[in-house]
Structure 1
Amino acid sequence: MESRVEKAVELHHKGYNCAQSIVCAYCDLFGIDEETAYKASEAFGFGMGQMEVCGALTGACMLAGLKNSGGLAQVGKTKAQTYKLDRVLGEAFREMNKSVLCRDLKGVETGVVLRSCDGCVEDGARLVEKYLLED
């Protein structure tokens, strides 16, 4: 698979939020159309609208659920493994950026920006490719 890191950043430049940029860049590989991906991930930008967990990371976690979940055929049976995958993504993102919180990444309280939104989108896309698409 060709890397889609640049595609995710291009989507961000078009006005997609950080979560939408990640989810929409890879949606076809996870079995959903772009319109559904865009709508489903809209509330996860800007740290879920509250500067909490970075949208790029939550977008990657949404894709982890699409990859790992057994769906209604396996209710409750795959969530522990999906949560484990979420933790791996979160730990890797934190290692790259020193935080997973939008407000910290943007330096709201400290005045020190740890990572730009474009940089977070790049990192989220790289994590998708490393942990969700590499076999």
Structure 2
Amino acid sequence: MEERKKRAIENHKKGYNCAQSVLCAYSDLLEIDEEVLFRISEGFGLGMGMMGTCGAVTGMFMAAGLVNSSGDLQACSSKPETMKLIKELREAFKEKNQSLICRELKGVDTKKVLRSCDGCIEDAAEIAGKILFPQQYKDENK
């Protein structure tokens, strides 16, 4: 998992936004070309573009959909289970960081930074690994 978090931080240092940093760190496990993931998540940085939901969290949520969706365009049958995953991811991130909102995490209004962007990226990458890829997480942490 440390390598996954390191990859996400390296992505950010290369100029990827927070969502891209997290989502692209899992391109191999998602079995989707990193360029495709990069393009899909481009508009979701800076707190989904305007300091709303943290981009790292958004990247984690995108990964959940990619992992869990049935892709059934007619029935949308996997949506309830995906939403349970989103809730689990959301609660884990919020428990660790007190907020999911970029401007709150960065202390824009309060001047009290709850977590840096790199910290949010590391946390989201780790939480995604534990919840979305539990077997991979276990194997990497033996």
Common topology (TM > 0.5): yes
CA distance in structure 1 between the partners assigned to 2:13 and 2:2 by the alignment: 20
TM-score (norm 2): 0.91
Quote the offset at 1:18 in angstroms: 0.4
Q: Tell me the residue number matched to 1:106.
A: 106
RMSD of aligned alpha carbons = 1.4
Quote the offset at 1:56 in angstroms: 0.5
Q: Tell me the residue number matched to 1:31.
A: 31
Quote the offset at 1:72 in angstroms: 2.5
Q: Structure 1: which 4+ aligned runs deviate by more than 6 Å?
A: none
CA distance in structure 2 between the partners assigned to 1:2 and 1:102 by the alignment: 24
CA distance in structure 2 between the partners assigned to 1:74 and 1:130 by the alignment: 30
TM-score (norm 1): 0.95
Quote the offset at 1:28 in angstroms: 1.8
Identity value in percent: 56
Gapped runs of 5+ residues in structure 1? none
Gapped runs of 5+ residues in structure 2? 136-142
Q: Structure 1 residues 6, 35: CA separation in 2 closer, same or farther (over 3 Å shift)?
A: same
